[in-house]
Amino acid sequence: MLSYVLRRLAIAIPTLLLVSILVFSLLKFLPGDPAIALAGEERDPAVIEFLRQKYSLDQPLYVQYGKWLGGIVQGDFGLSIRTRLPIGEMIAQKLPVTIQLSVMAMILATLIGIPAGIIAALKRGTAADYGVSIIGLAGLSVPSFWLGIMLILLFAVTLGWFPSGGYVAFFDSPVDNLRHTLLPSLVLGTAAAAIVMRHTRSAMLQVLKQDYVRTARAKGLKERIVVVRHVLRNSLVPVVTMSTLHLGELLSGAVLTEQVFGIPGFGKMIVDGVFSRDYAVVQAVVLCSAALFLLMNLLADIAYVILSPRLRG
């Protein structure tokens, strides 16, 4: 198991290095002098020259890349031009918000997607199956920001059950935190729920065809036990793997969801970075999301190995 994980890590690290090169060169292709951008309002050539030397902007590209990467490995992503804060600190502050949203979204997606998928598979070809499939299709097709706007309109503006946006930290007030994060998590989890539903349905249909299911039925087991113990348990392997893989994609969704609900998370950070031309932030966010994505893939692989005994060993 450990050697398997190490082997997967060995593949992920070069990929991440390559991402860092791509991200670094993207920024270097931008027009304009980064030293002047860093100086902001300051027009004094001495200051600009000082910044150029401080951030090694006068060095060859590979030296700059090396220093940049060396900093990142130690958690130093540089300074945000807009907030003047270390980007590493900003990420450390904002990432947990997005992780909370993603975890809640995945829980909601599982709670909705798995039962819906089971019903659709067991009632294949009936109105229930078509109903679930159509709702699933709609869930995949709805733009998350529009769904967010509609939920705000219904639950915040009209009914007043939830606040229409903003964020309260969990440790400040757990109840307020949940009131602020429930709608965004639902929005974020919608596409994931549809995907979980589809995978559950098709995996269940695969397993229902197996001989051991027929055997279980033939020996007179109750349908409920057949479904839960034989079908469901064997269907969940691909579902867990695919859901973990989807966790990485939640980052894309978080960008829009956090924008709509005004949540100061990791996703909003990239949008803010783009609009304030704070490219060091954009760089850091893209690199971090790639790292998270690779980590999720690794977790999915590990989950798959743990769940399917044939691959263990």
Partner 1 sequence: MNTSNATLQLPGTSVTKKSVLSRCLRQPGVMIGGTIILLFVLVAVAAPLIAPYKPNTSDWMAIRQGPTVAHWFGTDDLGRDILTRIIYGTQASLLVGIVSVAIAIAIGVPLGMVAGYFGGIVDMVISRITDALLACPFLVLAIAFAAFLGASLENAMIAIGISAMPIFVRLTRGQVMTVKAEDYVDAARLLGVPHRKIMLTYILPNAMAPIIVQATIIMATAVLAEASLAFLGLGQRPPSPSWGTMLDVARQFLTESPWMAIWPGIAIILLVMGFNLLGDGLNDALDPRRDD
Binding site for partner 1 (CB under 8 A): 14-16, 18-19, 22, 26, 29-30, 137-138, 140-143, 145-147, 149-150, 152-153, 157, 195, 248-249, 251-253, 255-256, 259-260, 270-271, 274-275, 282, 285-286, 289-290, 293-294
Q: How far is the CB of 171 from partner 1 (least distance, A)?
A: 28
If the CB atoms of residues 30 and 225 are measured against partner 1, the closer one turns out to be 30
If the CB atoms of residues 5 and 19 are measured against partner 1, the closer one turns out to be 19
Q: How far is the CB of 252 from partner 1 (least distance, A)?
A: 4
If the CB atoms of residues 29 and 171 are measured against partner 1, the closer one turns out to be 29
Distance between CA atoms of residues 166 and 199, nearest Å: 34
If the CB atoms of residues 39 and 281 are measured against partner 1, the closer one turns out to be 281
Q: How far is the CB of 260 from partner 1 (least distance, A)?
A: 7
Q: How far is the CB of 21 from partner 1 (least distance, A)?
A: 8
If the CB atoms of residues 35 and 147 are measured against partner 1, the closer one turns out to be 147
If the CB atoms of residues 234 and 283 are measured against partner 1, the closer one turns out to be 283
| 180, 168 contact by CB (below 8 A) | yes
Q: Which residue, 266, 139, 260, is CA-closest to 193?
A: 139
Q: How far is the CB of 220 from partner 1 (least distance, A)?
A: 28
If the CB atoms of residues 48 and 191 are measured against partner 1, the closer one turns out to be 191
Q: How far is the CB of 110 from partner 1 (least distance, A)?
A: 19
Q: How far is the CB of 272 from partner 1 (least distance, A)?
A: 11
If the CB atoms of residues 26 and 311 are measured against partner 1, the closer one turns out to be 26
Q: How far is the CB of 194 from partner 1 (least distance, A)?
A: 10
- What residues form DSSP beta bridges with 133? none
Backbone conformation region of residue 152, classed left if phi is above 0, alpha if psi is from -120 to 50, else beta: alpha
